[in-house]
Amino acid sequence: MLHGRVLESRVPPDLPPIFVDANQLSQVLMNLLLNAAQATAQGGHIEVSASRVSDSVEIQVADTGCGIPPEILPHVFEPFFTTKRGKGTGLGLSISQTYIRSHDGEVRIDSTPDKGTTVTITLPSRPADPPLAVAVDEPASHQEVIIQ
């Protein structure tokens, strides 16, 4: 799939946690990598990056591929829309968008023909986990623990 292309990963280890279905996010990323690989010629670059943006985590898959013409870009999330003529179902981006939105996220695509495409996924970061138990002061002979 990525044979002959340069894949770079720029994901810092200190990103805040996000609450997502790991299988769904994996499927989204695999779809985006497959699309990038199919659009990028041998020797081209594909980069996966992530960063904290306010109260969210932003994940980007960028390539130096053929890009998407402006007249096609508004249709790429439509079910069964494909430009791959016999090689695609036209469901990958539609399903990916549905998965991301089901996690209160957004997905957008920026593309320039003959320059490449960047797909940006924005997902809310999960707040820090609350304490599992909080002690509540009661009279000395009794202490109550509240489990949250």
pLDDT in the model for residue 147: 36
For the entire predicted model, the pTM comes to 0.83
pLDDT in the model for residue 127: 72
**Could you tell me the residue ranges of all domains in the chain?**
6-147
> For residue 74, how far is the Cα from the chain centroid?
19
Helix, strand, coil distribution of the chain in percent, nearest 5: 20, 30, 45
In whole angstroms, give the CA distance from residue 93 to residue 31: 8
In whole angstroms, give the CA distance from residue 40 to residue 98: 25
Architecture of domain 6-147: 2-Layer Sandwich (3.30)
Q: From the CB of residue 32, how many other CB atoms can be counted at a distance below 10 Å?
A: 25
**Mean pLDDT of successive 10-residue segments in the chain (148 residues)?**
89 92 95 95 96 96 97 95 82 96 97 97 81 51 38
pLDDT in the model for residue 128: 61
Q: Alpha helix locations (H) across 8-140?
A: 22-39, 92-102
